[in-house]
Amino acid sequence: MIGPSFRHFVDQAVPIALFIAIWQILPSAGLIDPAILPTPLLVGKALWQLGQTKSFYMDLGMTLWRGFAGLMVGAGLGIPLGVLMATSARAHAFFDPLVKATYSLPKTALVPLFILWFGIGSMTSIVAVAMSTMLPLIVYTYHGVQGTPNILVWSAQAMGTNARALTWRVRLRSAQHGILTGLRIGLGFSFLIAIAAEMIAAKVGIGKLLFMYGETGSYDYMFAAVAAVVLSAYVADQALLWISNYCLRWQQPLLAGQG
């Protein structure tokens, strides 16, 4: 008998293996110029060589630090603002137009302006990441708090819970799923924006490496640097998913009871 965990692993591994196989075949068969699209074997070799250098880990570590720092700043601003908008009609009326106006704005377009304000370095990347992650967290937090079942609110009020405790003990706890979903989406944005900002306004980081390798035509090393970021992002996403499942473990008995 094949266990569900093994079946899940196969379901995850087969598409990746198929993608890598097609990638290997296209340049090897001459359908795509290998100089433009290196094979996975060449990329793996380049990644191994990069892994032997200390400077590569410094670049990768700097990118991860900027991404996580920006995400934490975005969460520190976005979650409280989302709660405030969901619990105060006056705050919602004031901030809602600003959120709608800036949500679809390409945040990387503001990087040159951030350079003028903060200079070339980490601060520019962190601010760009914070702006990009703050907005989805505002939206998901707002809808999570707004979606608190009335029965929970009424029950808490009937037991004498005041407005402040109601927000912290009931609404925020009910909104955990939405907040963690917004945080997971923000995590994806954090890597993307950090690298994009580094390509414009940084002297150290994976973004600067990608720009340098692209300029010199070292596409195998460029893809290797991208692969390192993808692996790091996958590990971070899985860690956040585990944290989310742990934080939401109290919902499992409720879901089982409903089933």
Q: Check which CATH number belongs to the domain holding 239 and give it.
A: 1.10.3720.10
User: Does residue 75 lie in a domain region?
Assistant: yes
At residue 214, the pLDDT reads 85
Distance, in Å, from the CA atom of 175 to the CA atom of 94, rounded to the nearest integer, reads 22
User: Does residue 132 lie in a domain region?
Assistant: yes
User: Does residue 39 lie in a domain region?
Assistant: no
Distance, in Å, from the CA atom of 193 to the CA atom of 69, rounded to the nearest integer, reads 12
Instruction: Quote the domain boundaries for residue 180.
Output: 60-248
What phi, psi does 149 have (nearest 5°)? -55, 135
Within 8 A by CB and 6+ apart from 164, the residues are: none
Question: How many domains are there within the chain?
Answer: 1
User: Does residue 215 lie in a domain region?
Assistant: yes
User: Does residue 27 lie in a domain region?
Assistant: no
Distance, in Å, from the CA atom of 200 to the CA atom of 136, rounded to the nearest integer, reads 24
Distance, in Å, from the CA atom of 66 to the CA atom of 218, rounded to the nearest integer, reads 25
At residue 161, the pLDDT reads 66
What phi, psi does 126 have (nearest 5°)? -65, -45
> Which residue's structure tokens are 């090393």?
221
In a structure prediction context, what are the per-residue pLDDT tens digits for the chain, which is 259 residues long? 455 666 766 667 778 888 888 878 888 877 777 778 888 888 889 889 888 888 899 989 999 999 999 999 999 999 999 888 888 889 889 988 888 888 777 777 777 778 778 777 788 888 888 988 888 899 888 888 887 766 766 676 667 666 666 666 677 777 778 888 888 888 888 888 888 888 887 788 888 888 888 888 888 889 899 899 888 988 988 888 888 888 777 665 444 444 4
At residue 70, the pLDDT reads 92
pTM of the model: 0.80
At residue 122, the pLDDT reads 80
